[in-house]
Amino acid sequence: MIVSSEIDRIYKLSSDEFHKDYVELGKPVIISGLIPNWSGFHKWSLNYFKNLSPTLNIYAKKFSNQEIEICRLTMARYIELIETYQKDPQSNSLPPYCHDLPLFSLIPSLVEDVQPFPFDYLPKWYWYKWWRYCQFFLGSSHSITPLHFDCLLTNNIFFQIVGRKQFTILLPEDAKYCYRQGWRWFLVNPENPDFNKYPDYKNAKPIKFIVNPGDILYMPPGTLHHVRSLDPSISFNIDWHTQKSSLTALGAITKGMPVQNLYYNLLLTIGLVFKIPPQIIFKFYKTYLNYVS
Ligand SMILES: O=C(O)CCC(=O)C(=O)O
Ligand SMILES: [Fe+2]
């Protein structure tokens, strides 16, 4: 099988070109040159978060055999776990992975650090309090998110701030070769595929690349991704729909999408297609930000 590293890397891509050449074509891209201009880019570190909000209650996840276990702890305790681990990763056990935390809502002062924010990549509907849609990922090196696609079949803009991450992605048409389990997780480990167990994976065309601090990654709806942290890391993403992707996602109810996902997708469709403002929709949508699936 061929593993390629083919993904466009564009310096300061304009929002018009982003929509025309990537979103509309369902093509992934890495955008460089924007995050390094943020006022807080050089300030962010795990230690900075710990000092800002040591007593904040957060949760972290352990992914094992398709099960997700949730651990609850304070920010200070979590960052200490990571610090201890990093001193000797060979002999310490891997800390859980803080995954999908709406940190801008929990520590609002962080929003000032990400200016100028390129919110014009998002549809206008999301501009009002755009930071409410962001989900953070904090973790040690060697943290892994197993192969999956994002559960509402949204577009994903992913901001890498601290540390590097290795992504292996597959376009939606390759999902049929990856042995889906349930709605959105897949059995194949693209870093070390077991072709005896999963022979169809030979037909897939994985794309493997590193996302560096300061990079923005765009993944179209339904892109499969497996993510390995190469360093202690801070990232956040925004899952977002266009009118078109929200309508396509509603159709996925016939393909195994859970009813709760249909509910969130209906809300976004009502907002984007029927122009109901986020001030009304968000009240109903916000439980999505704590939805583990
Ligand atoms: O960074 C990670 O470990 C996972 C990222 C991810 O799955 C996402 O942005 O949807
Ligand atoms: Fe994801």
Tens-digit pLDDT profile for residues 140-198: 999 999 999 999 999 999 999 999 999 999 999 999 999 999 999 999 999 999 999 99
Q: What is the pLDDT of residue 16?
A: 98
Q: What is the pLDDT of residue 173?
A: 97
Going from the C-alpha of 64 to that of each of 49, 68, 121, 144, 145, the distances in angstroms are 27, 7, 35, 10, 10
User: Helix or strand or coil: residue 72?
Assistant: strand
Check if 140 has its Cβ closer than 6 Å to any atom of ligand 1: no
Mutate to test the pocket of ligand 1, among 98, 99, 143 (most ligand atoms within 8 A of CB): 99
Give the angle subtended at the CA of 289 by the CAs of 45 and 211, to the nearest 5°: 40
Check if 150 has its Cβ closer than 6 Å to any atom of ligand 1: yes
Using the mean position of ligand 2's atoms as its centre, give its distance from the Cα of residue 223 in Å.
9
Mean pLDDT of 250-273: 96
Q: What is the pLDDT of residue 278?
A: 96
Residues in the chain: 293
Is 80 exceeded by the pLDDT of residue 5?
no
Q: How confident is the model at residue 2 (pLDDT cuts 50, 70, 90)?
A: confident
Contact 278, 125 (CB under 8 A): yes
Task: Provide the β-strand partners of residue 73.
Answer: 58
Tens-digit pLDDT profile for residues 180-189: 999 999 999 9
Is 90 exceeded by the pLDDT of residue 3?
no
Number of helices and strands in the chain (H, E)? 7, 15
Provide the mean pLDDT of the chain.
96
Q: What is the pLDDT of residue 17?
A: 98
CATH of domain 8-242: 2.60.120.650
Using the mean position of ligand 2's atoms as its centre, give its distance from the Cα of residue 187 in Å.
15
Alpha-carbon span 248 to 267, nearest angstrom: 14
> What are the boundaries of each domain within the chain?
8-242
Q: What is the pLDDT of residue 66?
A: 72
Using the mean position of ligand 1's atoms as its centre, give its distance from the Cα of residue 64 in Å.
16
Residues with CB under 5 A from ligand 2 (ion): 150
Q: Using CA of residue 99, residue 229, residue 45, residue 127, what is the dihedral sign?
A: negative
Residue 287, CA atoms < 13 Å, CB-side half-sphere: 8
